Amino acid sequence: MSASLNDVLMNVFVSASSLSDVYHLVGVVNDVVNGVVSDGVFGYLIDVDLTYLFYIIEYEKKFKRTENFQIIKKMNELKNNLKSFIELNSKISSIETNLSSLKEQRNSLENNILTILENNNLTDKDIRIGDMKFQYHITEKKDIFTQHFIKNNLITFFKEVQNQTTENATKNATYVFEYLLNKRTSKSNKNLKITKINKTN
């Protein structure tokens, strides 16, 4: 019965009955690969593989349960996941850059179209192109609630509605404002922070 060197390399790790046997067999295989020993040892390895054949299943079970194997397995999984993450992140960045450029072009066209509609009294007309209908549309958007907005309007409230002096209005507004800030809840978000490492020569 013959076997290739690749077969031997694969079987060494699954046919040994203990870790010490693995280390020994790996050393012998390394010698064979580097031409240190004769072809007779290669035949010896094949015999050993056949001799320990019945240990394969049992050894696989024992070896995969060892802590070192699990650590190596997890670290390898982590490394592969990080590589995949970098690749996907790069693709997303490229797409986002292209998307940003497309949005700028679209917004520029939209502004140009709106200007034409306004200048030609077409704001109340429907324009059809194929199965698409275009309409001039106006939406109202409220200012967002910034901290500056809230504090200033609290001062205004106490001055104009409560008829307080500027000093008292500012004091009460500051009290309410800080109360609201302290009532905010915090939420932690987990994410990966990526930093480009500059390699020095």
Q: Is the pLDDT of residue 7 over 70?
A: no
On whether the CB atoms of residues 64 and 23 are closer than 8 A, the answer is no
User: What are the b/e assignments for 162-181, b being 16+ CB within 10 Å?
Assistant: eebeeeebbebbeeebeeee
pTM tops 0.75, yes or no: no
Tell me the range of 11-15, 45-49, 111-115 where mean pLDDT is highest: 111-115
Between residues 69 and 199, which one has the greater pLDDT? Answer: 199
Per-residue pLDDT of 36-66, as tens digits, reads 444 444 444 444 443 443 344 345 445 555 5
Return the pLDDT at 193. Answer: 82
Per-residue pLDDT of 138-156, as tens digits, reads 998 888 889 999 999 999 9
Q: What distances in angstroms separate CA 199 from CA 143, 192, 196, one per listed residue?
A: 46, 21, 9
Task: Read off the pLDDT of each residue in 117-143 and give the average, rounded to a whole number.
Answer: 91
